[in-house]
Amino acid sequence: MEQQHFSVMLSESLQYLGLREGGVYVDVTTGLGGHTGALARQLKSGRVIALDRDAESLELARQNTKDCAERITYRQSAFSDLRKTLDSLNISKVDGLLADLGVSRMQLTSAERGFTLLQPGPLDMRMDRRQDLTAADLVNRATERELSQLFRELGEERGHLAEKIARALVRARPVRDTGHLASLIASVVPRTGKLHPATRVFQALRMAVNDEPGELDALLQQAPDCLAPGGRWVVIAFQSLDDRKVKQRFRELDKQGLAKVLTKHVVKPGSDETRRNAASRSAVLRALEMRGPETGGDRA
């Protein structure tokens, strides 16, 4: 089934990466290949390393980038394996790194993956299906206190609601599927505005199943050592939890004199893009350039 796909802030990403002919660029969140393909098509020479934890997304990305596949190397890889993966390709440093921290549209629209609350499906939520832990394990085995804490910290759910939801889930066990989970939450949390009452819980479970906080921490630590002097790093975040970590790490590298932050303020998508793709409304982009003896030259 063909997936409609929008690459968030594509032109801004390319602008801040400042592509150089012959350079090596890594997209650590390939998804369906939108950003990866755009990078490869702009490079007449050079190489794009396309990484993603999700094997199914990578396969779709291959199909979507057939026209420029000779300049792309695909690997299934988590953030925490960035250095190891580059080493396996005999790559010491890259000229640019792009991380789009949003969940891929394929994951969100495939009920069988368990990410969406709009269609019933298994309580899965694994980006890498080789791992054992699923959302069902958390929902049906974690203690009420553990679930409440999870919903507060990763879902940013209000304390009393997090406790109420956790209590309801534990009492209703076994929670069968995503539809059952969403209906249980809706039965104890009043709907306010457009946001479904289960949205924050689904976010928290997805982040916990895939250890997204730990993986982002690993990327923020490893990436600077993987970038050449003058190399650029662009991150697109959709959640305040992620953006705060990126902002703090970029500032830290700047203060240490190791890099220069290129975005004094976060870059947001334009009105045309948000009209075309509502999911982009919460996106923010930050960029920095690594310092070093080779820093300089004309960049886009």
Where exactly are the structural domains of the chain?
10-106+212-290, 129-209
Please list, in sequence order, all residues whose beta carbon lies within 8 angstroms of the beta carbon of residue 119, skipping any fewer than 6 positions away: 111, 178, 179
DSSP letter (8 states) at residue 225: H
CATH top-level class for 10-106+212-290? alpha beta
Confidence of residue 4 (pLDDT cuts 50, 70, 90): low
Confidence of residue 297 (pLDDT cuts 50, 70, 90): very low
- Quote the pLDDT of residue 38: 97
pTM: 0.93
Q: Across residues 163-178, what is the average pLDDT? A: 98
Residue 47, φ and ψ in degrees, nearest 5: -150, 140
Do the domains spanning 10-106+212-290 and 129-209 agree at the CATH topology level? Answer: no
Q: How many residues does the chain have?
A: 300
Check pLDDT > 80 for residue 294: no
* C-alpha span between 4 and 22 (Å, rounded): 31
What would the pLDDT profile of 119-132 be if each residue is shown by its tens digit?
Answer: 899 999 999 999 99
User: CATH second-level architecture of 129-209?
Assistant: Orthogonal Bundle (1.10)
Q: Which residues of 37-55 are buried (b: 16+ CB within 10 A; e: fewer)?
A: bbbbebbeebbbbbbbbbe
